[in-house]
């Protein structure tokens, strides 16, 4: 995958006509991506790629995100690459890393789709698993630094076995959450936040509905 700096240079080339005749600077790239200059500088330093913003940028200009991320041929500026994949995307659903979401995925009738590059598919478990993958947003800070506010997380709804632990999307009487779940010897579940300022909750397994395992994410700068 291209580095943050490489991607920025490609974007500068793409938007050069929009800001001509002046030279294109990092602040111009930040502006077209909708990122503050402070966040942009932080991402550049950490080489943290803003997938959400890149997806929007590419969609508005009919550019394949594969071209930006993996340096594919210039023809990708006009034509989509010959292989890309779509997964279900619930843009109105926020699984909380703080208080719970009161939106039920099953109640949503209008489902969007999000395009993912071919090279990202293996991170979701391979092409055969895509039928089980759904994407939603993170809300809150209790899972930082693992997940941040407005990250898009990918959930495999076929993976609900919590015996080995892991990060899952769960539903309790308080709402929809993304948490680290660990099964205790007594059968109860520890609901763990990665942010150490939040306490671990212990719940009866009967009080927790496991929606699916979180298998990957697209990061955000918000």
How much of the chain, in percent, has pLDDT values that exceed 90? 25
Element (H, E) at 196: none
Element (H, E) at 173: none
DSSP-derived secondary structure for 15-75? HHHHHTTSPP-HHHHHHHHT--HHHHHHHHHHT---HHHHHHHHHHTT--HHHHHH---GG
> Quick one: pLDDT at residue 72?
57
Pull the structure tokens for residue 109: 């009738």
d(C-alpha 185, C-alpha 202), whole Å = 12
Residue with tokens 């077209």: 32
**Mean pLDDT score of the chain:** 80
**Residue 107 CB-half CA count within 13 A:** 5
Query: Tens digit of pLDDT for each residue in 68-119?
Result: 777 655 444 444 444 667 888 776 666 655 544 444 445 444 567 777 877 6
**Residue 157 CB-half CA count within 13 A:** 13
Sort residue 138 into left (φ over 0), alpha (ψ -120 to 50) or beta: beta
Query: Tens digit of pLDDT for each residue in 14-70?
Result: 888 776 667 889 999 999 888 888 888 888 888 888 877 887 787 677 777 777 777
Domains identified in the chain and CATH numbers: 4-77 (1.10.260), 84-218 (2.10.109.10)
d(C-alpha 170, C-alpha 158), whole Å = 13
Sign of the four-CA dihedral 201, 204, 208, 214: positive
Mean pLDDT of 151-175: 91
Q: Helix or strand or coil: residue 179?
A: strand
Element (H, E) at 141: none
Among 62-76, 135-149, 173-187, 207-221, the range scoring the smallest mean pLDDT is 62-76
d(C-alpha 219, C-alpha 222), whole Å = 9
For residue 132, CA distances in Å to 89, 93, 121, 154, 156 come to: 12, 17, 12, 10, 5
Among 36-45, 58-67, 153-162, 169-178, the range scoring the smallest mean pLDDT is 58-67
- Taken as a whole, the chain contains a residue count of 222
Mean pLDDT of 136-141: 84
d(C-alpha 210, C-alpha 89), whole Å = 19
- State the pTM of this model: 0.60
């Amino acid at each position: 995958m291209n580095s943050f700096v490489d991607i920025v240079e490609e974007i500068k080339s793409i938007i050069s006509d929009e800001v001509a005749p002046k030279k294109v600077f990092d602040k111009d790239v930040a502006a077209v991506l909708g990122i503050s200059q402070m966040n942009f500088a932080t991402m550049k330093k950490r080489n943290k790629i803003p997938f959400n913003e890149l997806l929007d940028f590419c969609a508005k200009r009919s550019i394949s995100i594969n071209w930006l991320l993996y340096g594919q041929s210039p023809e990708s500026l006009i034509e989509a690459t010959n292989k890309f994949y779509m997964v279900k995307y619930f843009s109105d659903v926020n699984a909380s890393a703080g208080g719970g979401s009161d939106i039920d995925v099953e109640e949503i009738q209008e489902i969007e789709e999000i395009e993912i590059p071919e090279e990202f598919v293996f991170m979701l478990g391979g092409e055969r698993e895509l039928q089980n993958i759904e994407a939603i947003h993170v809300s809150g800070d209790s899972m930082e630094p693992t997940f941040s506010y407005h990250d898009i997380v990918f959930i495999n709804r076929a993976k609900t076995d919590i015996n080995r632990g892991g990060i899952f999307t769960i539903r309790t009487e308080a709402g929809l959450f993304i948490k680290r779940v660990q099964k205790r010897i007594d059968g109860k579940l520890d609901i763990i936040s990665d942010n150490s300022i939040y306490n671990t909750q212990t719940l009866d397994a009967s009080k927790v509905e496991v929606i699916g395992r979180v298998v990957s994410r697209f990061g955000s700068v918000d």
